[in-house]
């Protein structure tokens, strides 16, 4: 179980600060939510953690590793995976093929082994297939396994996006608005999956979500961003009573 620490992270685009001296600590084994109005910097923070952006200043550490300037590939190999707000799936491939493809970084064998397909290659392929089957079963995607992703409903595609991240066997899972655009029933399914990931799989979850009802119900800790700065943090009860948070969301009378 590894702790993630973001220290005084500032992200600048030209003269605009997307993040300003953000301090966030993600404790292992819990659900931490990052909330805030549109444009508050939530996705920018996830982009910094997952290596798509590099902070202009500040530091990001995961255990003993310095991730401040790490690439997305390097980060994905140390147990951090991400599900995107905008679906990053191959619409012309089946659910099964999308998930198998996500395991490509585990295909650690030579061209020789791939050609004759025995020994190490066969063993690794079998291990990858077994793990993908485990994810399909957990995410209840069995009815869709051979269906083309582009033909599935939006809610199921969002579920496949989360499953794609899970196939990397992460210890830390970053979820960027996994319930956006879903109906109530689909949201309930995703909430159940997130809670089970924490309870049964022991995965640390970082959740960016606009549905405050869901956030308050399932989060162990919450950070609130506004204009790129942390304006509040704590338990759901502490955040709900924070005057700065109330002002950011509903305005000051």
pLDDT tens-digit profile, the chain (253 residues): 689 999 999 999 988 899 999 999 999 999 999 999 888 999 999 999 999 999 999 999 999 999 999 999 899 889 999 998 877 788 899 999 999 888 876 555 455 455 455 566 677 778 888 899 999 999 999 999 999 999 999 899 999 999 999 999 999 999 999 998 888 999 999 999 999 999 999 999 999 998 889 999 999 999 999 999 999 999 999 999 999 888 887 665 5
- List the strands of the sheet with 80-83, edge to edge: 80-83, 172-176, 204-208, 31-35, 221-226, 229-234
Domains present along the chain, CATH in parentheses = 20-92+153-161+168-250 (3.40.50.300)
Buried/exposed 84-101: b ≥16 CB within 10 Å, e otherwise: bbeeebeeeebbbbbbbe
Cβ distance 172 to 79 under 8 Å?
A: yes
What is the rounded distance in angstroms from the CA atom of residue 46 to the CA atom of residue 53? 9
pLDDT at 108: 58
DSSP state of 148: B
Between β-strands 172-176 and 204-208, what pairing exists: parallel, antiparallel or unpaired?
parallel
pLDDT at 112: 47
CB neighbourhood size of 150 (10 A):
12
- Any residues with CB less than 8 A from the CB of 241 and at least 6 apart, and which? none
DSSP state of 144: G
Q: Return the structure tokens found at 74.
A: 């390097």
pLDDT at 37: 87
CA end-to-end distance (rounded Å), the chain: 44
pTM here is: 0.88
247: enclosing H helix or E strand: helix 243-250
pLDDT at 113: 52
- How many residues in the chain? 253
């Amino acid at each position: 179980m590894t702790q993630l620490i973001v220290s005084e992270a500032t992200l600048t685009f030209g003269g605009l600060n997307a993040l300003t001296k953000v301090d966030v600590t993600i404790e292992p084994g819990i659900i931490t939510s990052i909330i805030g109005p549109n444009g508050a910097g939530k996705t920018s923070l996830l982009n910094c953690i997952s290596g798509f952006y590099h902070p202009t200043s500040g530091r990001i550490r995961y255990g003993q590793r310095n991730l401040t300037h790490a690439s997305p590939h390097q980060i994905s190999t140390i147990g951090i995976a991400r599900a995107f707000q905008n679906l990053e799936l191959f619409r012309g491939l089946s659910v099964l093929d999308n998930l198998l493809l996500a395991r490509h970084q585990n295909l650690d064998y030579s061209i020789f082994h791939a050609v004759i397909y025995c020994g190490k290659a066969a063993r690794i392929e079998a291990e990858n297939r077994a793990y993908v089957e485990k994810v399909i079963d957990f995410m209840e995607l069995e009815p869709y396994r051979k269906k083309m992703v582009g033909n599935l409903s939006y809610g199921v595609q969002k579920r496949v996006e989360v499953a794609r991240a899970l196939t990397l066997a992460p210890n830390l899972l970053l979820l960027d608005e996994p319930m956006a655009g879903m109906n109530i029933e689909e949201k309930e399914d995703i909430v159940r999956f997130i809670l089970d990931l924490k309870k049964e799989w022991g995965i640390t979850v970082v959740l960016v979500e606009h549905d405050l009802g869901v956030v308050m119900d399932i989060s162990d800790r919450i950070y609130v961003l506004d204009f790129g700065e942390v304006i509040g943090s704590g338990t759901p009860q502490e955040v709900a009573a924070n005057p700065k948070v109330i002002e950011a969301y509903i305005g000051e009378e």
